[in-house]
Amino acid sequence: MKPETIAIHVGYDGDPTTKAVAVPIYQTIAFEFDSAEHGAALFNLEVQGNIYTRIGNPTNTVLEKRIASLEGGVEALSVSSGMAAIEYSLINIVETGSNIVSLPQLYGATYTLLAHIFPKRGITTRFSASDDPQDVEELIDDNTRAVYCESIGNPAGNVADLEGLARVAHQHGVPLIVDNTIATPILLRPIEYGADVVVHSMTKFIGGHGTSLGGMIVDSGNFPWRSYPEKYYMLNRPEIAYHGVVYVEHYGKAAYVARCRTVCQRNTGATLSPFNGFLLLQGVETLALRVERHVENARQVAEYLRDHPAVEWVNYAGFPDNPLYSMAQRYLGSQRCSLLTFGVKGGFEAGKKCFNAFHLFKRMVNMGDAKSLACHPASTTHRQLTPEEQLKVGVTPEMIRLSVGIEHIDDIVEDLSQALEQAKETTAEAVALTIGGVECR
Ligand code: PLP
């Protein structure tokens, strides 16, 4: 099946009891056992079935199957947010004394998790000097357990060289974990380029309506965990946290995601609510259509901004003179994501005026919504980073990030036009851009 069809049908054949065509919301915490023996068999992993929603829920199972299929993976685990997906994808195989090698261009909370929170648990992250796979390779050593990147960096917009990163990671016996939130499997499927695990914030494009947090971890089933019994002993030896199961033996290709579910999620509980699972399923059904419109609207917005006299610069990977162009061309073909950044002439004060003047664009930190959204990363999503860290992850102080929505393009351009008009009227008063109380220089 093609993605458009997968997004609507995979994982659900209708409800045999009620004949419901829409996926039901199984808003229940637990599931009844037929007998003590049945319960024991479920716990012993001898039969398949539902036990308790913290471990799995039938509504969420449909979503898991659908996203796994869209990404070309063998199995997936849904969790309560994108950040939970990122944390679980790593703590499943990384522990005290080991390290992660990451590209530097990351979403702010991911950067904070890797740079400031994991080190407190004895896990270090080595950020490469650039997104060149050679720079990444230099940092990998015997204690490296994962190479991490975003397929399209938020908000830098860089498209990662997934093939190159997978090659260097695999040469050193390490999996490549890719956050595919911005690209979505409609624009890019990292597993096709060698990624071993794909994570998502479904909160964004997959949901598409700005109503529900959710995350997903997709296992490609391709990483040879058995070849590294010492390094990935947690998948190769009896698991004390789950009935002594040996994941690679019991779950085969889905060993990694099975451990995510039964150790990480079962014991720390960042579970997706079935209600959110249902809402996210509504989003998935129209993902391909929405992405098509997002992409086209963003292209027109980028062209409009580039030609506007009040705009200093536009970072859009669709312009042939943009440094991101060739990598984007290689991995996204003629399409580009709908996230772009720009700077207004007149510095911080002009930027602030433009930002404050939006009517249609909502001033907020989300992205991937049907609605057009504007964000000032330096004062919001990346605010907890120092100015040096901000530059490292691709954030400049004056940068305004747009998540171009699926409204009519004329209305989107009209809003940009009136906001930029107000910015043009900025006098030379030397006021720094202060948004959310942060002064940007
Ligand atoms: N990954 C990326 C690329 C993001 O942009 C975000 C949030 O903006 C996340 C992960 C975190 O997702 P969530 O808000 O669902 O925890």
Please tell me the least confidently modeled range out of 14-28, 42-56, 168-182, 346-360: 346-360
Task: Answer whether 181 contacts ligand 1 (Cβ < 6 A).
Answer: yes
Domains of the chain: 3-283 (3.40.640.10), 288-439 (3.90.1150.10)
Token pair for residue 131?
């997104």
Rounded Cα–Cα distance for residues 36 and 50 (Å): 14
Token readout for 253 is 């290709």
For ligand 1, what atom is nearest to the CA of residue 367?
Answer: 8
417-426: pLDDT as tens digits: 999 998 886 5
Q: Does the C-beta of 179 come closer than 6 Å to ligand 1?
A: yes
The closest of 155, 150, 152, 146 to 123, measured between CA atoms, is: 146
Query: Among 39-48, 231-240, 333-342, where is mean pLDDT lowest?
Result: 39-48
pLDDT digits (tens, 9 = 90+) for 176-224: 999 999 999 999 999 999 999 999 999 999 999 999 999 999 999 999 9
Helix or strand run (H / E) with residue 34:
none
**Does any ligand 1 atom lie closer than 6 A to the CB of residue 206?**
no
User: What is residue 387's three-state secondary structure?
Assistant: helix
Banded pLDDT at 166 (limits 50, 70, 90) = very high
pLDDT tens digits, residue range 365-407? 899 999 999 998 877 777 888 888 887 777 777 789 999 999 9
∠ Cα 120 125 131 (to 5°)? 155
Distance from Cα 215 to the centre of ligand 1, integer Å: 8
Residue-averaged pLDDT of the chain: 93
For ligand 1, atom 12, the nearest C-alpha belongs to 82
330 alpha carbon – ligand 1 mean position (Å): 24
Ligand 1 geometric centre to CA of 245 (Å)? 32
Confidence of residue 441 (pLDDT cuts 50, 70, 90): very low
User: What percentage of the chain has pLDDT greater than the value 90?
Assistant: 82
